[in-house]
A and B are shown apart, each in its own frame.
Chain A
């Protein structure tokens, strides 16, 4: 497996931010580094690596690593392992940090300070950033920084991640040479549990000395939770929020997507008139411009979905949603966190697969990614519309249902059932009796901060454009090449595509697809259809040598295929589209998100097998029913 390239800023001492999850560490990181951030993966794992750079008042240039949040230095997830490995200097391709900033949630010192004690034992120079002091003050908690510093034997700076004051004090501290002094590591070989209990005792004494040994819950959060987590009111509220997100991704993105498609078409026409007719024009217009348009067209959905996800994440609602959905998803071995990625995949699998980043457990995340393409995405709709319109008669069933609508609905259901079945099978055969715990913190609520949302959105957009966009563009150009060369011989009677590499491939595939009822015309159109599922409609138009273009294709095509295909073939093709991995953009996204070609290849393989099986059964049942 090829490892992800780690992008780093060169030179300068390395700082690492360490802290419990939900301690405001990433907000502080955003405050310290602003837009100077690089997002990649750690070598060999799918854990997000964020590095930034900053300059101290004295002009010292520093690199900052935002390590994954952890409750202790005894890792229980790949994320936490990265944090431990980097701090101990064992992480592959990572330098051991020169200084650690322990970010501590002032509202929860009891749990947070235990991690500080563990980090201090590593012997790395260490500074404590006492974060969220504003929220602590609201709850009546006032921490004496100087006294805490004396008790811990470490410098302590009060920070509020949203304000610049604390960050400035932190930067000033980094200019003092004694801040960077190393101490001897302390390792007494005690068992993990003993250390926790011993550290707990130390923390208890420190907090007693500071007069902070009372646990004060955040009352405003509790009031919100009384509604949000209410057994009866909570689930309907969640349903409304999820519906709004789904509606937004599905419907709001349509207008900007149409603009992008129109702009691509306009640019293509403009360039067509400038370049002489020939292969160069075809390459630029049908290859490059169409390919780039095919990348950018996903942006509205990605931006809208991640805007909502970041809002939910920042506010603290996301883990509550996961709590409410835990039981439902637990039935097939997934956790509540898989729900939003799967829901988004009904609009498009690409933002859905990217949204799987919010799933902390690696196995759950991988399974969610693997079943996401079975959710019926919007690109399948034009194909479904064509086939249903051509083959399924308009008539009422049982007085109130419409047959065409019923078929469309059952196609959606077939995808969901397929996905749940695969997840359930994976649970049965891969979980190995491994009990995967929930143990999920429900952090106190915050107002989402525009700055953090904007930085988060920008990073998602860049990840998609840079890492996924390139692959999609290259593959689109490759498909263009396959569909355009070699050119039709002089005096040829069929459509030019029939004589191209794609045509040859289609004719060869026709042998494979013959048992499921596909003729060679369908087989050929499946090749350019790899660019995106809806392209199959225009590709069929090309194969049948229709002169109509764009939206008229389906209208002209429907009577033609209704006449020349059997109903069994049409039903088989519908079944094929429920499962088939016919979207290179999705596979490219999976490659990027899992850090190698293994998962996309497995995905393509199993979905292909599933689609073939479903089509085979459908075709032969239909033949037996006399619809051949």
Chain B
């Protein structure tokens, strides 16, 4: 949507090794956001920028040794996660697993019998990318993401925006797989609700 598609992996890596500066710029723009999300989730906002810059520099210095056993993006994300972990601030974020069922009983989307109160209307879009073209919706999602409990935010950043696998995420956050899935789902569900409301009312 914002950038033209990157060439296939093999060609991509070959060209990056051969001093293709235009392609390098495109790659930075394409993957920077995911890397930032991972750095932010692990190391916090104050040093996330630094972590991403360091990760890029490590990647640049190692690109000639990159053999393409994983996708370039996964490789970049892994480097970022490692860089972020090594700089992890010592004071921990709020680590308590919030009571995940706190709102369950009062979820107004459902009747007392647990059925949809409003039939959950269809969204009026043809593709997820179309959702992103609405600037107001993006601002709204961002606002609500910032308000999510820390761990839910971390899960969305690491898994859905960063594309890290669940096992790596559990290791980084030191939580169990089932906790991770619950937290991830709470975050996704919240984002779904924000979009649904926006679709219904045009408001955040």
A, B bound: no
Interface residues of A (CB under 8 A from B): none
Q: Report which B residues bind A (CB closer than 8 A).
A: none
